[in-house]
Amino acid sequence: MLIVSVLVGCKSWTNTGKGAAIGVGAGALLGAGIGKLAGNTAAGAAVGAAVGGATGAVIGKYMDKQAAELEAEMEAAKIERVGESIKVTFDSGLLFAINSSTLSVKSKEELKKFSEVLNKYPDTNLFINGHTDDTGSDELNQSLSEKRAASVANYLNSLNVAATRLTIAGFGESQPLVENTSAANRALNRRVEVIVNANADLVKAAESGELQVK
């Protein structure tokens, strides 16, 4: 699962100093090789297991550098360092029209910038999660969240981000950031989050000392 969070007009990068989804249903059309997760598997994969120690510290520096580049390039995105991962959040209002999973022109511009940085750091995996507010039925929101995550993954893949790096999940309305008590709050809950984690090759390079971050 790739989790990136982007908020319109918001730009921040926080370095921490440290290197329950609903089941995915039908309807999210994915390009070949892109993965799809559901349930606790999806939630756990996004978080990832912390490596820790000296290896985790090296991976943390690698992620610090990548996060700084993302912050510099993506003015409409909220970039956060979380443990040994990067979290990017996209407001669905930036990405999509209401009740749509078709990417907007503006969103494609942001995702192009995102892909350019990702392709400089190929030894990471992305977990892309779709979220909605509580307007509409559970079934509608679940399907929409999956389709939006799939749209982001497919577009990144079209920009040469390898399909094997991409995994999606839809969470529907099950994981709100805030209570759905106002239009402003519901807008915050409609989002696509991408989590960027180290892959096995990056961990091995950090363990062996091959990975040098300047």
How high is the pLDDT of residue 145? 93
Q: What is the pLDDT of residues 8-33, one digit of tens each?
A: 233 332 333 323 233 333 345 666 66
What is the model's pLDDT at position 21?
A: 32
Per-residue pLDDT, 209: 87
List the one residue out of 36, 135, 121 whose CA is nearest residue 86: 121
Interatomic CA distance for residues 39 and 24, integer angstroms? 8
Q: What is the pTM of this model?
A: 0.79
For the 35-208 domain, the top CATH level (class) is: alpha beta
Q: What is the pLDDT of residue 137?
A: 93
| Structural domain boundaries in the chain | 35-208
With helix as H, strand as E and coil as C, how does 140-178 read?
HHHHHHHHHHHHHHHHHHHCCCCHHHEEEEECCCCCCCC
Q: How many CB atoms are closer than 10 A to CB 167? A: 24
Between residues 93 and 109, the one the model is more confident about = 109
Tell me: pLDDT of 130 over 70: yes
The C-alpha angle with vertex 193 and arms to 86 and 18, in degrees rounded to 5, equals 20
